[in-house]
Structure 1
Amino acid sequence: MSDIPNSSFNCSDDEAHHYDHFLGPLYFEPWGIEVAGRIDPATVSVALEIAAGTGRVTRHIRKKIMPSAKLIASDINADMLAEAKKKLAHLDIGWQIIDAQDLPFDDNSIDLVVCCFGYMFVPDKHKAFSEVYRVLKPGGTFIFTTWDKLEYNKVSYVSRLVAEKYLKNPLPESYNLAVSMSDKAIIRGQLENVGFSKILNETIEQFSICPTAKETAAGLVEGGFVFKEIRQHYPEWMDEVKIELEKKLSEKYGAEPMIAPMSAIINQAWK
């Protein structure tokens, strides 16, 4: 993984809390607003969110759809879902641990399926997309996001460059999974292969915003995935790494606040 986050990674309770408290607003909040803005509430009586993580996008979906509509928020990771459930306990949401490759719903039973930044990590994408097509009602909507190339997501790109300076060996290929679905033509083909014919793919730019570059650097180095190898093997380097990352981010995107471009693909398909 790059330091662009995965909403369904294996984590502890503390990691889930850090993920929501820090990575949530830095990476996910703008996309929750963007995706919710594309939902037509008049068409939704049952909605399913896949890879809901800690519920950053879930909250925006719940507010956008009608109060009478049912929302099921799911993730494969129990700790992430527990964090979301605790935070959003006041909202009418059904929570389920679900594998995106095996949706436990009847054919033609759901009006809307949403997934923000989850499918890059699903091993069998054909099966996962087939499952969405199966459970959607005729005319139902599928909205999902995937990260654009790493170099267009500047906080993550700078983090990767800094981390690699401190590692003796190259990062495993798995660290590139987060940015493995940036080709719109491939995504369109995957959706067509399972039956979707009306498809829209858009590249959208947003901004990662944090009050200070120092806070960004501390949050990423202490809990970001690309720095995990350094934390585990060279903990004595952590203060130096934070200083180096803060310096690079400040120079490029401002010390206070830090505002850096990020980019994602928003994919929409209709059954």
Structure 2
Amino acid sequence: MDQDKSAADHWQFSLAVYTRDGVAEHCLTLQHTLGLDVNVLLLMLWAARRWGNAPTAEQIADADSEICAWRREIVIPLRQLRTRLKSGPAPAPDAMTDVLRQDIKRLELDAERMQQEVLAQWVKEQTQAIPGAAHGGTVQQMMVMSQVRDDAWSDPATQKNASAPQRSSVALADTAENARQLAVLEQTAVRVVAHYEAQYDGPAYGQAAIVEGGAAGLAADEHTADPWVALQHAHQVVLAAVAVFASA
């Protein structure tokens, strides 16, 4: 990807990934169970594609620190207010308060876009700071998750039944360089998940899940029972990102 290209395409990339079938559910599960900032995950995948290497754990932490106050004080309160209006207090929910809820939803989206602009500027500064250098180190080998999946693709029945994003990932893995790029995206997702798992605060995020509703609560229980679940959800986001990159 052209390093001089305007960073404006980061938002279109994020929207394209998030709106693919099933991706929103995977992202919301990560948000509810880990407090994972979906904007950070999407922007790190975008950055990894620009750089050709996965961001380091330190870079991910630095990027997150750029927007954590905005997320905590602006984005999350807007999200909680919007969610609360789905059920009350009176006169909510009704037609009148639904208009208010939609207005808040637009403000929440605007706030998230501002957050992404900050992250995109961070990516630009990182890119300029080390021109021509590898960011995040060279990927020495495919991630185990990628290898297991690639083994599965050798089965014609698996390919026949694969979804569109999954078929795109098969096409991406046709060459050594594309396979390496896929591994970079997988490694990026693993590091983002690890960053938020290290900060995981059960009671705080559990409360957020309760506010969002029953599905989120079930997701939290799911994560507690199986720590690999978060990586599985992140993996699905990677597959969607691969499909978006392949269609660009």
User: Greater helix share, 1 or 2?
Assistant: 2
Same fold (TM over 0.5): no
User: Greater strand share, 1 or 2?
Assistant: 1
Higher RCO (CA 8 Å, separation ≥ 6 residues): 2
